[in-house]
Amino acid sequence: MTNEQYLNEVLTLQRLDDDSDEMQELQSHRADVEALLRSAFEKSSPSIRYGGSKAKGTLIREDYDLDIICYFPSTDTIAGDSLEDIYNNVHQCLDKTYYVTRKNSSLRLQSKDPKVLGADFHIDVVPGRYTDDTKGDCFIHQAMADKKRMKTNLQIHIDHIRNSEVVSAIRLLKLWKARRSLTIKQFAWELLVIKLLEERKTQTLEEQLAHVWRTLRDADHPVSIEDPANPNGNNLNSLLESVRNELSGAADSTLRTIENVGWKGIFGELDATTASEKVSLLESAAVVTASRTRPWFKKLDGETMA
């Protein structure tokens, strides 16, 4: 098996199809959340749809979330006068049924069912308000930022990722990021990968990933990125500066691992004979950390690696 064939096998194992048990359960919870929101804000008629990796095509089995956006019309004040009011009122609505964790712009849902108390549904609800009747641009609340609101556009984000022509590389690097427990925000990570590969779309996955890691290891300064939905209004470069050393160290370790033991030192052995057996092989090597499934890490030649 060539390195390219191996990496494509990894991608196949990380696929989460719509008819899979995990996705069907996720979509069932999504329907429950939508029904709850529509009932609570019936007079506001919010737009409720998929965002995140499900919409962008970057979902992987080992690290998946479902973003549900709940955007209200620009002239609606029933859901709240301000963005913070909307955020708080959506939280209050969801809190009646779920344990809700407040994040910067979203609300994370966990189960209140005694049978599965605290179970993570992998669902983040993102409240917001459209800027006008075209229902394109939107403002969302930022609870933990100096600038309390951010202008964004969900469809521009989705199109930017889906049409990047490097979605396969993004999915593999998302898996690498998850296995290394790296703290960079996923949206910033996706934008960074697209920026680094904008001149390398026709290269093999092996070449693309190696280029990303070499750049992270060798760059004197973080690569600048911009929000495609609001390039002049949202400064994302601080998201890279804060994790520069973390990314550089992880990239260096990864490149040395490939040099010493090959790609299987990064993504694991794939020596089972069927896809289902391969999935079982990978899942048996995983451990549960907090609400995430994390892979087993083993030491090889004094290093920690996947």
Range of the domain at 298: 3-15+162-305
Amino acid of residue 176: W
What b/e sequence results for 243-266 when a residue is b if at least 16 CB atoms lie within 10 Å of its CB, and e otherwise? beeebbebbebbbebbeeeebbbb
Residue 106 inside a domain? The answer is: yes
How far, in Å, CA of 93 to CA of 109, rounded? 12
The confidence score (pLDDT) of residue 269 equals 86
Domain end residue (candidates: 128, 152, 176): 152
- Looking at the fold, whether 176 and 292 belong to one and the same domain comes out as yes
pTM of the model: 0.83
Q: How confident is the model at residue 271 (pLDDT cuts 50, 70, 90)?
A: low
- Looking at the fold, whether 195 and 132 belong to one and the same domain comes out as no
- CATH number, domain of 80, equals 3.30.460.90
Domain tally, the chain: 2
**Helix, strand or coil for residue 298?**
strand
How far, in Å, CA of 210 to CA of 297, rounded? 21
- Looking at the fold, whether 111 and 177 belong to one and the same domain comes out as no
Domain end residue (candidates: 152, 181, 204): 152
Residue 181 inside a domain? The answer is: yes
- Looking at the fold, whether 98 and 187 belong to one and the same domain comes out as no
pLDDT one-digit tens code per residue, 153-167:
999 999 999 999 999
- Looking at the fold, whether 167 and 300 belong to one and the same domain comes out as yes
How far, in Å, CA of 38 to CA of 160, rounded? 29
pLDDT one-digit tens code per residue, 205-243:
999 999 999 999 998 887 889 999 988 877 788 888 889
- Looking at the fold, whether 192 and 301 belong to one and the same domain comes out as yes
Q: Is the dihedral of CA 227, 229, 232, 235 positive or negative?
A: negative
Domain end residue (candidates: 114, 129, 152): 152
**Which residue(s) pair with 48 in the sheet?**
70
Mean pLDDT, rounded, for 82-96: 97
Please provide the size of the chain in residues: 306
Residue 157 inside a domain? The answer is: no
